[in-house]
Amino acid sequence: MAITVAEINTENIAHNLHKIRTKTKDKYILAMVKANAYGHGMIEVSKFLRTQNVEYLGVALIHEAVKIRQAGDNGKILVMISPEHQDADLFIDYNIESAFSSFDILKSFEKRAKERDIIIYGHLYVDTGMHRDGMAIEDAVPFMEYVKDKPNIKITGLMTHLATADMPDIAFGNKQLERFENVRKELDSLGHKFKYIHCSNSAGILNYPSAHYNMVRPGISIYGMMSNKQMADEMELKPVLSWKSKVIHCVNVPKGDYIGYSNSPAYPYFAKSDMQIALVPSGYADGLPRNLTNKLQCLINGKRFNSVGSICMDEFMVDITGSDVKQEDEVVIIGKQDNEEISVYELAELANSIPYERTATISDRVKRILV
């Protein structure tokens, strides 16, 4: 039985989707479940999202899409990152759609689809200024003109990605949208119609209402987070993940001893008086950053306790001196306990990180449980 778990609150996922739909006036939802659903459990979350009538699931890589298919999903899935030529058969075999950023990949996929007498569906991804994914704007028309005579390729979507949607200055975002709208109109004038038009990530949903088109791509907001807590509060989101463990052992430490890997000059902890510590089986192999050594706090019995000594691969130590903490007491690393809470924003700030990274790096060793 797993001691350390990530509880995933499905009621809060449903709440967050409702807030997103209200904000976007019920546009199609492409729900991002890449990177293990931002650490929330890709398969478990994907199954729940299908009960919420999302139009698409979005992933970064083809192997993520294949895992979802192998778990029994038969809905639309879009792979966002440009695939390799050799991946065409996977897209065909598992009925996966590609966001095309490369003319060469398109031609390779079209050739393979023709050989197998089947249709590959996809979206045209245009780069409007982020210079990460997507093809150059000037290639959009040649791309669609090429596709129109190819019965084995069907492009049903047009998309881009906003680079600065979570920033206060909206000038660059507006420039991207102007470029996107210009290419959309040009394609439309040539008779190229798209069932799905989308460019809004979670921050775009909040800050760029004109960018909602007819589909949006929420990711982090589904899980109750945004780049900062103020944005999440403005969206009225509820956090979805709680990271919990238990005290597995309590140890008395005499004055003058070191705790943990004391031979490391970067992370020594010296007991200045007699202490009692609790061991918690979560470490950097589970996703706890080692740079939180001697900074991490956790909740036990509704109170905050400080970690002491270096965060190890499999566990960390907590100063419980003078408390009534005992073996098998619940430990909360992220989440609420009684009237106390440790938020993902607090953990991210301590680690000089971002909320996305803090949940996305929780490893598979931490069992996800839907609650």
CA dist 44 to 24, 51, 225, 330, Å?
A: 25, 12, 19, 24
Q: Which CATH class is domain 10-229?
A: alpha beta
As beta bridge partners, residue 158 has: 124, 197
Residue 359 in contact with residue 223, Cβ under 8 Å? yes
Question: Cα(295)–Cα(292) distance, rounded to whole angstroms?
Answer: 5
Catalytic residues: 34, 261
> Average pLDDT, whole number, for the chain?
96
Q: Cβ(89)–Cβ(112) under 8 Å?
A: yes
Q: What is the pLDDT of residue 268?
A: 74
> To the nearest 10°, the Cα dihedral for 363, 233, 8, 75?
-90
Query: How confident is the model over 64-71, as a mean pLDDT?
Result: 98
CA pair distance 315, 328, nearest whole angstrom: 15
Nearest-angstrom CA–CA distance, 194 and 188: 9
Q: What mean pLDDT is predicted for residues 166-190? A: 96
pTM value is 0.95
Contact 368, 6 (CB under 8 A): yes
Would you state the structure tokens that stand for residue 56, as one six-digit string?
């698409």
Cα angle, residue 144 at apex, residues 138 and 148 outer, rounded to 5°? 160
Provide the residue type at 264 as one letter.
S
Q: How far apart are CA 31 and CA 21, in angstroms?
A: 12
Cα–Cα dist 248/51, whole Å: 37
CATH topology of domain 241-370: Lyase, Ornithine Decarboxylase; Chain A, domain 1 (2.40.37)
* pLDDT-derived band at 102, boundaries 50, 70, 90: very high
**pLDDT for res 261:** 82
Q: Which two tokens stand for residue 186?
A: 């040009």
64: left (phi over 0), alpha (psi -120 to 50) or beta: alpha
Residue, of 263 and 328, whose pLDDT is higher: 328
* Three-class SS state of 331: strand
The residue count of the chain comes to 371
pLDDT value at 267 more than 80: no
Q: How far is CA 333 from the centre of its chain?
A: 19
Distance in angstroms (rounded) separating the CA atoms of residues 227 and 201: 12
Q: Where are the domains of the chain?
A: 10-229, 241-370
User: Residue 279: in which H helix or E strand, if any?
Assistant: strand 275-280
Share of the chain above pLDDT 70, in %: 98
Mean pLDDT, residues 289-300 taken together:
95
Q: Please state, in angstroms and rounded to a whole number, the distance separating the CA atoms of residues 329 and 245.
A: 9
Please, is 352 exposed, middle or buried when counting C-beta atoms within 10 Å of its C-beta (0-12, 13-18, 19+)? exposed
Amino acid at 179: R
pLDDT at 263: 57
